[in-house]
């Protein structure tokens, strides 16, 4: 500790010795009585020693307070403004780190819950495939449906993680909305045939947007339309200049659920009742559409059907 103290106050000691040497040379050059010099040196040395002892006490107390921080003994009381300013800055940095750590803990916990929910959802198609394999009744259409369900859940998880990373990989290009919807409907052909659903595609629109992300967003809307449609029902996809509307004749959505449809993790009455919802599809669709400067609106009536309309916002 003494070595640290001398390092801390080495300027004081150097200055005192330099002044003493200067006075000694001055007294010697002017042939002044050395007794006066020695008395002055003794007097100033005594004062300097008292100051040094007080400084050492403050230095020792500060070191002890800092060392006691590891024992959680509380906040040290610094006597110097510079030390107090350093301590305040240290506390601000710690507060920032604690807040960032809390955010990381929350995100980690949220991700764990997401993976649990996703694992639960993907168990359903896996269980169906396992049952078909054990009974030896492998229906090609049902196998295709279950594989597409797993691909759908996997796409949700991967794209959700991309959105959480805020990765900006949007690439805008001009394409036909009808062509995009045609490819999308073809990918859901097996599910439509299983439920005997008819899909009517009307109109076209040359739109400039990110094809990949818009395809994913619209796929969530079409997936819901197919998922909650009654067997033998009809799905209508109407494309006009500036908007796209997907209508079904399915279960419909409760009026009290409509305001919360785009909340993350919200499944609503239908999702709980039929165990088909992850609570992420519409949330991600809304978030992606917002990033692409699109708007989305949903109208629904119980046992009549639901219409989802997306439109490109004017710049």
- pLDDT tens-digit map of 159-202: 887 877 765 678 899 999 999 999 999 999 988 988 999 999 99
- Indicate the length of the chain as a whole number: 315
- Under the banding of pLDDT at 50, 70 and 90, the label for residue 276 is low
Q: What is the mean pLDDT of the chain?
A: 85
Whether the pLDDT of residue 305 is over 50: the answer is: yes
Phi, psi at residue 7, to the nearest 5°? -65, -40
pLDDT of residue 74: 58
d(CA 277, CA 267): 6
Whether the pLDDT of residue 61 is over 90: the answer is: no
20-58 pLDDT per residue, tens: 999 999 988 888 888 988 998 899 999 999 999 988 888
| 66-80, 235-249, 251-265: which is most confident | 235-249
The percent of residues in the chain predicted with pLDDT above 70, rounded, is 91
pLDDT of residue 77: 64
Q: Count CB atoms within 10 A of the CB of residue 296.
A: 19
d(CA 249, CA 186): 20
- Under the banding of pLDDT at 50, 70 and 90, the label for residue 295 is very high
Cβ–Cβ under 8 Å, residues 5 and 56: yes
- Under the banding of pLDDT at 50, 70 and 90, the label for residue 70 is low
91-144 pLDDT per residue, tens: 888 889 999 999 888 878 877 877 777 777 777 788 888 888 888 777 787 888
pLDDT of residue 272: 46
């Amino acid at each position: 500790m003494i070595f640290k103290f001398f390092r801390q106050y080495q300027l004081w000691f150097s200055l005192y010795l330099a002044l003493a040497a200067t006075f000694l040379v001055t007294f010697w050059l002017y042939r002044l009585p050395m007794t006066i010099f020695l008395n002055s040196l003794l007097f100033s040395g005594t004062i300097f020693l008292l100051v040094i002892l007080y400084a050492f006490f403050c230095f020792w107390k500060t070191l002890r307070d800092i060392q006691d921080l590891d024992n959680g003994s509380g906040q040290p009381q610094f006597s110097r403004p510079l030390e107090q300013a350093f301590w305040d800055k240290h506390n601000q940095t710690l507060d920032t780190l604690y807040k960032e750590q809390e955010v990381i803990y929350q995100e980690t916990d949220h991700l764990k819950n997401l993976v649990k929910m996703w694992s639960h959802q993907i168990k359903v198609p896996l269980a169906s495939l396992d049952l078909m394999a054990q009974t030896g009744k492998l229906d090609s259409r049902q196998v295709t449906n279950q594989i597409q369900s797993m691909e759908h859940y996997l796409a949700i998880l991967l794209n959700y993680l991309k959105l959480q990373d805020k990765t900006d990989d949007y690439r805008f290009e001009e394409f036909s909305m009808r062509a995009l919807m045609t490819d999308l409907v073809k990918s859901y052909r097996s599910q439509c045939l299983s439920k005997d659903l008819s899909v009517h595609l009307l109109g076209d629109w040359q739109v400039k947007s990110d094809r990949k992300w818009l395809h994913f967003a619209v796929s969530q809307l079409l997936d819901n339309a197919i998922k909650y449609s009654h067997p033998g029902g009809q799905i209508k996809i109407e494309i006009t200049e500036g908007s796209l509307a997907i209508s079904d004749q399915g279960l419909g959505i409760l009026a009290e659920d409509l305001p919360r449809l785009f909340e993350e993790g919200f499944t609503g009455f239908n999702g709980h009742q039929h165990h088909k919802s992850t609570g992420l599809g519409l949330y991600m669709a809304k978030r992606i559409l917002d990033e692409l400067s699109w708007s989305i609106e949903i109208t629904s009536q119980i046992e009549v059907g639901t219409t989802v309309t997306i439109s490109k916002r004017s710049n």
